[in-house]
Structure 1
Amino acid sequence: MSRAAFGAPAADPAAAPAATGREASPFGKGTVLAVLVVGLIAFLAMLWFISAGDTGGDRENDGGAHAASVGLNGYAGLVRLLDGAGHRVEVSRSPGGLETGDLLVISPSPYADPAEIGALLEARQYQGPTLVLLPKWRANTVPDRAPEEIRERFKQGWVRLGLAIETTWTDDLPAPYTFETALERLEPDDSAAWEAFGMAGNLPARTIKHALDRDTLEPLVSDSDGLMLAFNVLGEEGSDFYERAHWTVIVAEPDLVNNWGLADPARAAAALALVREAGYGEDTRVVFDLTLNGFSGAQNLLSLAFRPPFLAATLCLILALMIVGWRAFMRFGAVAASAPETGFGKARLVRNGAGLILRAKRMRLLAEPYAALAQRRIARALGLKRADEAAIDAALGQRLPDETPFSARAEALREAERPDDIVRAAKALDELARKLTP
């Protein structure tokens, strides 16, 4: 049974002036909507930054020989070259990128674990082509003790090249990947020439790094003396590797493809041809790995939520939340004018009492008291000193001549037996009281 049906005391019109919904609300609808939109954007931004995490930033541009480095020995230029040539390029920080079926480019460090590299190459034999860029230079960033005018000339990631080094871990790779490297230092008057794919040119340094010749290796780029600067691992002729394995191309001389080497247009063209030779031609999609260089980004559930195929479900969830929020915002609208609310304790007492009456099924006992309460309220609203039914009917006939007399409505309530009839008759008295109240 509602509070209105059992006559919560009506507010005094003089004590509670009427207020429209917009006057009663401290904020306009536009202000509330703006707060919701800003909060939603901030929440989505927070989720994005949590999911993205620390991708490395300047920490990756550390002067190392990898795809994120802009130093002379880095390969950021190769990434930009391939992207500008129309290839789809990805710089992967996830271990899952090593399992791609596209051309995988790895640049292990001078201290790489041969067992790890060998296991990776063996796993990719029938998975996809691989391009291995060997290290060559000892590189150092500008030291803090260097003069300020020198340090100001160095940008983030720039390096000073030191001595060239051989790669020893290639000796311990599993067959047929095993090979040895060597360094050839030319005289000051000599130039390091190269030739491949119908092109030729000179290397930027007079120290050449090459692989020692073997029957299982096919030269792709050579110098003027026939030294192998880049080659394809063929394996033993007639073997399953020779017949079925994807290409594994190894660049022993990284100055062909690093940032220093790509400063020359001829070497840049040769580097592009070498990548296409190692992959699937002009349609080659290239994945540069950074995990072997120590830049592995761990994935979590939140980051996966913003990656395909889970991105579609995340967007649907966000859209559903926006719809629910908008629906809730429009559901309530402006604040409706109403009389002062009953205090919390009184409201609880009313609900508890009404619940007890409903459980006891004694609603008929409320009919007579409610009729008497309504009689006093209506008499007070009509300005009568005595709450007499005849006087109320007479005054009501002058104020609201078309309304059913109070006595008839009160009698209908007293005679009602069923709960629905009692509620209906009580509402009729309450409606009459509201019409007499400003």
Structure 2
Amino acid sequence: MTAVAAARPSGAFSKFGVFALVAGGFALFLALLYLLGAGEEIDGNSGGGGQAHAVSKGLNGYAGLVRLVEAQGHDVERSRRRGGLETTGLLILTPPPTAKPEEITKLLKQRAFTGPTLVILSKWWALEPPQQLPEKVRAKFKPGWVMLGPPQPSRWTQELGRPFAFEHKFKGESTRWSGMKRSGKLPTGTTLHAVPAHEFAPLISDEAGDLLAFMTKGARDFPSNPAYPVAFLVEPDMANNYGLADADRAAATVALVEQLSDEASTGDVVFDLTLNGFGGQENLLTLAFRPPFLAATLSLIVALLIVGWRAFMRFGPAASSAGPDIAFGKRQLITNGAGLILRARRFALLGAPYAALSARRIAERLGLTRADPAAIDAALARRLPDAEPFTQRAARLEAASKPAEILAAAQSLDDLATTLQQGQSTR
């Protein structure tokens, strides 16, 4: 027994190994589905072409502001969905120089009774380092770094609807600023300021009194239902990675964000990326991994894991490996025929053929040349005078219709054949 057991080939993998392979493949499949739905995560050195947005790590980007706001305890989201524009928390927009004024106006008016909004304008014409740079120079650039060109005011601000329109103007040789209970110097002598076309409230100004940040007041003309504030930061060197290198500028920007966030119904802060061209479309895959559909997705995953676990559990002993998978010969033929009759439930057809088969077998054991029922009864009367005649047993089998009756009648014929066989062996 030991030798036979040792000769059996063992599996290439254990049960645990196979389960680990299946579970790992299933997890990777779920991750693939999620990445297909959510899209590739943006980082500072991929895409954007040097744009100023919330995940850019260049001088003109706002990745530092995102981390700074997170450090203040806010729940921060970098939104690539149009649905993120409907947040009831603070929404921070970083539109590019080519923004459409009608789109921005429509968005700001919709935000009037949804939540506060901070719009940070772009300033620098920035480019990623060109491929023509020498290798030693390119090696000094970290991922996401950019090369700053000349400052560029945004022209679309003049076409904004009331009360948001203002002129974005260039101003040189102005480095001092004050506001938000702070003051300091700008990183460069080239400054951008705003000339609002409508009523406003100043937030940050330069040494000449020109506006670097302001809040519109026209949207507050609803005493019974006051609107949420809309603020513009027109000098982005106060908030971008370049400007946050100074503690005073960082503190003023955080104070501005905190003041606007206090107006919101929640402490959430959403940095929009859709205006910078990183918008994603909603689909079934992304919805499956978000509330309230996340609960159904997790339930389905648990159910699949349970089904997979049960698939590894054996039901009964292992099948014997001896012999061919498909049996041959009379036994298999009989088994198949019996199964067919059992499925068709035509039990009444069994009596006559089995009686004829028993007649030939009994006639042979009585030494008769023909299986004639009368001759069998006569020979049986001489051999076993007290035995029940063959014809009565055969008639009872042919008349039976229920499985128990057929079995009892057939057993009676078999007992007669067995008795005759035993009588021949004792002679």
TM range (shorter): 0.7 to 0.9
Change (3 A) 1:215 1:35: closer
Check if 1:141 corresponds to 2:124: no
Distance in 2, matches of 1:110 and 1:171, equals: 13
Distance in 1, matches of 2:409 and 2:214, equals: 99
Larger RCO: 1 or 2 (CA < 8 Å, sep 6+):
1
Give 1:342's aligned amino acid. Answer: I
Residue in 1 aligned with 2:261?
279
Distance in 1, matches of 2:257 and 2:267, equals: 8
SS at structure 1 position matched to 2:312 = helix
Residue in 2 aligned with 1:124?
111
Residue in 1 aligned with 2:37?
51
Check if 1:419 corresponds to 2:406: no
Verify the 8 A CA contact 2:200 2:216 in the aligned structure 1: yes
Check if 1:41 corresponds to 2:27: yes
Distance in 2, matches of 1:43 and 1:87, equals: 33
Which of 1 and 2 has greater Rg? 2
Alignment equivalent of 1:255, drawn from 228, 231, 237: 237
Alignment equivalent of 1:227, drawn from 202, 210, 219: 210
Verify the 8 A CA contact 2:57 2:64 in the aligned structure 1: yes
Residue in 2 aligned with 1:65?
52
Check if 1:362 corresponds to 2:347: yes
Shift of 1:329: 2.5
Distance in 1, matches of 2:231 and 2:172, equals: 24
CA RMSD after TM alignment: 3.8
Check if 1:174 corresponds to 2:158: no
Residues paired across the two proteins, number? 372
Q: Which sections of structure 1, spanning at least 5 residues, go unmatched?
A: 1-17, 377-385, 389-410, 430-438
Verify the 8 A CA contact 1:183 1:208 in the aligned structure 2: yes
Verify the 8 A CA contact 1:25 1:335 in the aligned structure 2: no
Check if 1:112 corresponds to 2:96: no
Distance in 1, matches of 2:408 and 2:33, equals: 54
After TM superposition, the score normalised by the length of structure 1 is 0.74
Change (3 A) 1:91 1:349: farther
Deviates more, 1:191-200 or 1:331-340: 331-340
Shift of 1:48: 3.1
Verify the 8 A CA contact 2:15 2:312 in the aligned structure 1: no
Alignment equivalent of 1:312, drawn from 277, 295, 307: 295
Shift of 1:321: 1.0
Shift of 1:423: 6.8
Give 1:152's aligned amino acid. Answer: A
Deviates more, 1:37-46 or 1:116-125: 37-46
Shift of 1:128: 0.8
Q: Once the two structures are aligned, what percentage of the paired residues are identical?
A: 45
Alignment equivalent of 1:161, drawn from 148, 173, 183: 148
After TM superposition, the score normalised by the length of structure 2 is 0.76
Distance in 1, matches of 2:135 and 2:355, equals: 94
Alignment equivalent of 2:70, drawn from 80, 83, 99: 83
Distance in 2, matches of 1:202 and 1:29, equals: 68
Change (3 A) 1:182 1:49: closer
SS at structure 1 position matched to 2:311 = helix
Distance in 2, matches of 1:260 and 1:96, equals: 30
1:372-391 aligned within 5 A: none
Shift of 1:328: 2.9
Change (3 A) 1:169 1:215: closer
Give 1:39's aligned amino acid. Answer: G
Distance in 1, matches of 2:135 and 2:285, equals: 44
Residue in 2 aligned with 1:321?
304
Verify the 8 A CA contact 1:230 1:250 in the aligned structure 2: yes
Distance in 2, matches of 1:51 and 1:123, equals: 28
Change (3 A) 1:107 1:33: closer
Give 2:40's aligned amino acid. Answer: D
Residue in 1 aligned with 2:385?
none
Residue in 2 aligned with 1:399?
none
Distance in 2, matches of 1:132 and 1:242, equals: 26
Distance in 1, matches of 2:91 and 2:9, equals: 66
Change (3 A) 1:214 1:115: closer
Deviates more, 1:28-37 or 1:120-129: 28-37
Verify the 8 A CA contact 1:220 1:231 in the aligned structure 2: yes
